[in-house]
Structure 1
Amino acid sequence: MELDFVKLHGAGNDFVFIDDFSGTLELTKEQIAWLCDRHFGIGADGVILVRRPNDPACAAYMHYINSDGTLAEMCGNGVRCFAKYLVDYAFVDPGDGALAAETLAGARPLTFSVDEDGKLVSATVDMGTPRLAPDEVPTTLAANAVSPYGEAFVLDASVDSPWGPFSFTCVSMGNPHAVCFLDDMRALPDELFADPLAKSLDTLDLDRVGAFFENHPVFPEKANIEFAVVQSGGIAMRVYERGCGETLACGTGACATGVAACLSGRSGCSNEVHLPGGVLTVSWGDDGHVSMRGPAAESFSGHVRLPL
């Protein structure tokens, strides 16, 4: 099989885009894994098939597949890149300044800005309202707090691990998130850090601890696991994404972390979230909706022959 593709990224979270408006392309898990492989394939955190929408109010449908071949309901960085693909490749008029993207989590309206050549450079996405009820995240952890909107939710709930208990606040942004604020790094075991004498978010062994909690039984559909530190200039965050491991950025994770920081009183409801790949601006508005602003960029395009 031969395919044309475009590789795009949002703050380092990268995706292989393929035009499938005909709706005829079905890729196997092995083909997805090959496309995402950074040594033998193109290299990406996931593959996005651009398909004809079912909702006539949407410009197109974003069919997002993680690097392990599993479907994802929503991807915040992916939907900004999706908008860039639609604008830059003439599915949407650059002068429109707005579009709606159809996802498995529903329609996501967004506005965008373009450069002098009419290419999209950044977008602000209405990510909808966070879902907090444990059965909607989903998690088997019991609700122990009530949000300003009257919804019972899981706040700083303790979950055991081989390295002691970690506390998680659970939020769904159309996909499940569990946010752990590392308020006291010194209390964590030395073995979880590359340098025990310089414990920090940057030196945390995320591959080990993130993978453990992603697959923990309290998250029946697995979960995206965020570790965060609230600082004077915003929130620093790293994420272990369900289905692909650590990524340089996660849009829904940044939104979930902003919501969790606000719910727990660690910050206000508007934050700059600092990720290894860049900065996303997240706001939880009075209307209950979360907005996320960030960049989208094209890495390269090409033609590939799948060996499988």
Structure 2
Amino acid sequence: MRVPFIKMHGLGNDFIMLDARVDAVPSIDKQIASALADRNTGIGCDQLILLEKSQLADFKMRIYNSDGGEVEACGNASRAVALLHGSAASVETNGGLITVTPTDNGARVDMGVPSFDWQSIPLEYAMDTANLPLSWEELTNPIAVNVGNPHIIFFVDDSETIGLDRLGPLIENDPLFPEGINVNVADVRNGAINLRVWERGVGLTKACGTGACATAVAAIKGGLVTSPVKVHLPGGTLDIQWADGQPIIMEGPATESFRGTFEWDDFA
């Protein structure tokens, strides 16, 4: 059967969107998600997004990384979903309920309240997530936070000098993180954050919305910046607003690239 798809991106973090609210989509597994995501033999993407009907919200968003693994949240995809849906909506994700609202320049997303509890990250054992006594070469004393998915944040003098393509997979797959972790390296300049992210199950990406949220929360909580704060990523800039005990508000662009169809059996 031929299945329609929509290719979208948020600051270069790109997605294959499958809308099962409109058209029937066969069951997705790790093999077909990774095959579709392959940039040489598939359509190519960082994440495959499946929209489904929901009994808890206006609809559900399921997220598959390019390695085929299903994950809990994706901030950039949330903005793309807002643009695709065309109006404000509540969205069920595996990381919890969020709300999305299209804006003139993209979308505004209520990402929910972050968690700093070690069990919700999760970590293998109890630690102070605001100052983890850990190091991987020059990366030391990170902060851990869950914003729907797990993140570890390192504040450094210059994020561009860090070999994240080498250190990222080492940290992502450390036994301390039983479900893996997204790795963020950031520096603060002139009240704004410069950020690079190694995404769990994807690798280096041009932008990571949840990474921007997690890093902004860590920086605000640590007194390094004030809210709202601009987070500069290789693909562009996001605006993040947060206060202790409140939900994270993310604003930024999203873009539809093109539409097409594919033969399901070619990838199953």
- State the TM-score, normalized to the length of structure 1: 0.81
Deviations 1:80-104 (CA, angstroms, capped at 9, x unpaired): 11111212xxxxxx5xxx2211111
The CA distance in 2 between the partners of 1:16 and 1:158, in whole Å, is 39
Name the SS of the counterpart of 1:77 in structure 2: helix
Partner of 2:68, secondary structure, is coil
**1:101–1:108 contact (8 Å) kept in structure 2:** yes
Q: 1:24 to 1:44 in 2, by over 3 A?
A: closer
Name the structure 1 match of 2:19. Answer: 19
Deviations 1:229-256 (A, max 9, x none): 0110510000011111111111111010
Find the aligned partners of 2:260 and 2:213 in 1 and give their Cα distance.
Answer: 32
Matched with 2:47 is 46
Q: 1:1-308 alignment to 2 at 5 Å?
A: 1-21=1-21, 25-55=26-56, 58-87=57-86, 94=87, 98-114=88-104, 121-140=105-124, 142-144=126-128, 154-161=129-136, 163=137, 166-183=140-157, 200-285=158-243, 288-306=246-264, 307-308=266-267
Shift, 1:30, TM fit: 2.2
Q: Residues 300 and 181 (structure 1 numbering): CA distance in 2 closer, same or farther, change over 3 Å? A: same
**In structure 2, C-alpha distance between the alignment counterparts of 1:228 and 1:76, rounded to whole Å:** 18
C-alpha deviation, 1:270, in angstroms: 2.1
Q: Is the 8 A contact 1:52 1:61 kept in 2?
A: yes
- Maintained 8 Å contact 1:33/1:67: yes
Structure 2 contact 3–25 (Cα < 8 Å) conserved: no
Query: Which deviates the most, 8-17 or 203-212?
Result: 203-212
Deviation at 1:42, TM superposition (A): 1.2
In structure 2, do the counterparts of structure 1 residues 224 and 236 end up closer, same or farther at CA, with 3 Å as the change threshold? same
- Runs of at least 5 residues in structure 2 that lack an aligned partner in the other structure: none
Aligned residues: 265
| Displacement after TM superposition at 1:142 (Å) | 4.1
Kindly state the Cα deviation for residue 276 of structure 1 after the two structures are TM-superposed. Answer: 0.6
8 Å contact kept, 1:270–1:281: yes
In the TM superposition, residue 141 of structure 1 has moved relative to its aligned partner by 5.8
Give, in angstroms, the shift of residue 19 of structure 1.
1.7
The alpha-carbon deviation at position 286 of structure 1 amounts to 5.6
Measured on the aligned residues, the alpha-carbon RMSD in Å equals 1.8
SS in 2 for 1:288: coil
Identical-residue share of aligned pairs (%) = 39
Q: Distance in 2 between matches of 1:24 and 1:280?
A: 32
Contact 1:37 1:44 in 2 (8 A): yes
Q: Is the 8 A contact 1:83 1:101 kept in 2?
A: no
Equivalent residues of 2:82, 2:101 under 8 A apart: no
Q: Name the CA distance, whole Å, in 2 between partners of 1:111 and 1:160.
A: 39
Partner amino acid for 1:50? Answer: L
Q: Max radius of gyration: which structure?
A: 1
> 1:190: which partner in 2?
none
Gaps of 5+ in 1: 88-93, 115-120, 145-153, 184-199
For 1:227 and 1:258, how far apart are their aligned partners in 2?
12
